[in-house]
Amino acid sequence: MSELQPDAMEFDFGSPPTFEDPLEERTYIKERLACAYRVFAKLDLCEGASGHLTVRDPIRRDCFWVTPFGKQFAHMTASDLLLIDHHGKVVMGGKPGKQKYNAAAFIIHAKVHSSRPEANAVCHSHTKYGKAFSVLNKPLPIYTQDACVFYNDVGLYNSFGGVVLDMSESSRIAEALGDKKALIMAHHGLLTVGETIEAATSWFIMLENECHTALLVDAAAAGDPTNKPKEINADAAQFTFNADGTELAGWFESLPWFDLIDEECNGAYKK
């Protein structure tokens, strides 16, 4: 119950599937990860070979699944994915001749996964609005209802040390992320985490959109110094965060995109 809306109803989001067979769960999360890559491609959230989405393996918890280096996100399949450990070794998966992965993917994601045991999924990409907003080196303003899912829950890493190829840099990134669901990385891009790949995908899509919105709002207000943009007040932001900013809400939010991809490609990502 909230003093802001004392008779507020609660959303019924349902819940993710559960598995008794860990091998069945592994198959499922690989398929969902491959589908997530296609969602990113559908929404123009990728740039060439840059960017990477990962999911922790349910059997070997010290390993995670990732794309082979240079694979087009729009064509990703479960059988393309590589399982790598926290030492950078390819443990299993992938296709012959496609056993290489992006070194930056390992450096960044291995550290985030190890620092956040509950963060089974990590999404990072170089998207145009995320990159543009990151150059401002400032926190995300809470201008809209959708931005409230990041209320006190998005970090800012305002130091750019070049392309991430060393664990010292990824350690600083993980420290800046802390216990939050998202991170704005100055001069670089966005990063989100979740207990599921669906939640991490939702947070990424929403953060990219909110960076875009913030840029539009600030540009619109620039011509009128008397009309400064107003952020949502703390009570309303917290109320909305409590309703929409949960892991379950994040999982549910991206399901329409996953369903669309499944229908459009007739489940081809599961191959």
> 268: closest CA among 98, 38, 72, 26?
38
Residue holding tokens 């939640």?
A: 199
Residue 70 backbone zone (phi > 0: left; psi -120 to 50: alpha; other: beta): left
Structure-token pair, residue 71: 């694979």
How many angstroms separate the CA atoms of 163 and 179, rounded? 23
Bridge partners (DSSP) of residue 108 are none
How many CB atoms neighbour CB 83 within 10 A? Answer: 20
2 has pLDDT over 70: no
Give the Å distances, CA to CA, from 53 to 13, 24, 144, 239. Answer: 24, 21, 27, 30
Element (H, E) at 66: strand 63-66
Q: What is the pLDDT of residues 12-67, one digit of tens each?
A: 999 999 999 999 999 999 999 999 999 999 999 998 888 999 999 999 999 999 99
Is the separation of the CB atoms in 34 and 77 below 8 Å? yes
Query: Residue 84, CB half-sphere, CA atoms under 13 Å: how many?
Result: 26
Bridge partners (DSSP) of residue 56 are 64
Query: Residue 179, CB half-sphere, CA atoms under 13 Å: how many?
Result: 1
Q: What is the pLDDT of residues 48-63, one digit of tens each?
A: 888 999 999 999 999 9
What residue type is 190 in one-letter code?
L
Confidence of residue 1 (pLDDT cuts 50, 70, 90): very low
Bridge partners (DSSP) of residue 84 are 64, 90
Is the separation of the CB atoms in 135 and 186 below 8 Å? yes
Question: SS3 for 100?
Answer: coil
pLDDT for res 225: 82
How many CB atoms neighbour CB 130 within 10 A? Answer: 24
Q: What is the pLDDT of residues 243-270, one digit of tens each?
A: 999 999 999 999 999 999 999 999 999 9
Q: What is the pLDDT of residues 134-168, one digit of tens each?
A: 999 999 999 999 999 999 999 999 999 888 888 88
- Give percent of the chain above pLDDT 70: 99
Phi, psi (degrees; rounded to nearest 5) at 246: -85, 165
- Cβ neighbours of residue 65 closer than 8 Å, sequence gap 6 or more: 29, 30, 33, 54, 55, 57, 81, 82, 83, 93
CA dihedral 153, 125, 84, 117 (to 10 degrees): 0
Is the separation of the CB atoms in 231 and 218 below 8 Å? no
Q: What is the pLDDT of residues 171-205, one digit of tens each?
A: 999 999 999 999 999 999 999 999 999 999 999 99
pLDDT for res 164: 84
104 has pLDDT over 90: no
Average pLDDT for the chain: 95
pLDDT for res 162: 86
